[in-house]
Structure 1
Amino acid sequence: MRKVSYLLEGGSMAHEDFCGHVGKMNPGDLQWMTAGRGILHAEMPCSEEPAHGLQLWVNLRSSEKMVEPQYQELKNDEIPKPTKDGVTVAVISGEALGVKGQLRLSEHSDQSGGSEEVDGNSDNTVVAATKDPELLKLGDPEKAHQVSSHSVHTTKKDTDKLPRAAYVVDNRLEILTR
């Protein structure tokens, strides 16, 4: 099992595990922890302000399930943030606006009030999370449907495109595709 944590805004979170990994996450920071053979860890808020973030649990391939536990942090200032047409993308991993990494996880922050087409291959699962569900729609713009604050949209192989997300100023969209 691999845990991917991404702190969006608010307070800070502390992490410690029995392998000696110690870290503090602030807004915009990312943490990968692979349990592998097994790991004991603790996560606790370390500020009075509530922390808002995403935590994704990823099932490892059979061949990777017994690896040694691993821990990696990526600080906000280490994450590339290309901008195009008023949309800033924090490319945590994967590919967005020409920047590549391992996973396909990106944060889109649109200041233009426009919309964003998310590129990708067919047969993808897209997890979209936003603070204000009233401002987000997924799917064909002509048939777009409202989503909840955390929504899963699956595209069909060769028959559907990745969702188009409609934005307004200061709206943020977190996208994970595989």
Structure 2
Amino acid sequence: MMTDRKDNFELATFGAGCFWCIDAVLRKLKGVEKVESGFSGGHIKNPPYREVVQGRTGHAEVAHITFNPDVISYKELLEIFFQVHDPTTLNRQGADIGTHYRSIILTHNSAQENIAQEMKQKIDSSGIFNDPIVTEIKAFEAFYPAEEVHQDFYTRNQGMPYCTFVIKPKVDKLKRLFAEKLK
């Protein structure tokens, strides 16, 4: 079992649609030591990508983040998470449709759960979004890394249409709204 804190680092696990998108955004943040794309929240051990995208595993595509809370807090990561995807669409982000694309926060301890629940409630009641937030919040159980081809996908494939039209606008939004938090 993974620990919640090793030395000065903590873990966070978020699903915000395609893991390539959230991975690209989080890698740019000060205090983020490591981002790994993979699967979590389901019922199959070590699922291959092809089974996850067919909806048979219960897993969501997620980014598993190692971060330094002295540089960037869990709350700040959540603020960014809620800004760079649409937390009001159930089992989809744009043209990406399926339960594996759901908005999900997998908490590693009770403090994270409390912060996530409070932030979701605060944002939901603020009226920022026209529709209710459907982001699932549940306890982290396990993380399964995706195949190597999925790791740091945006950096290695910026010329691909998906990167240009789907991921780049999210990265641009991050730069516009959170410039002071960038590496």
- Scaled by the length of structure 2, what TM-score is found? 0.26
Greater relative contact order (Cα < 8 A, sep 6+):
2
Considering fraction of residues, name the structure with more strand.
1
- Scaled by the length of structure 1, what TM-score is found? 0.26
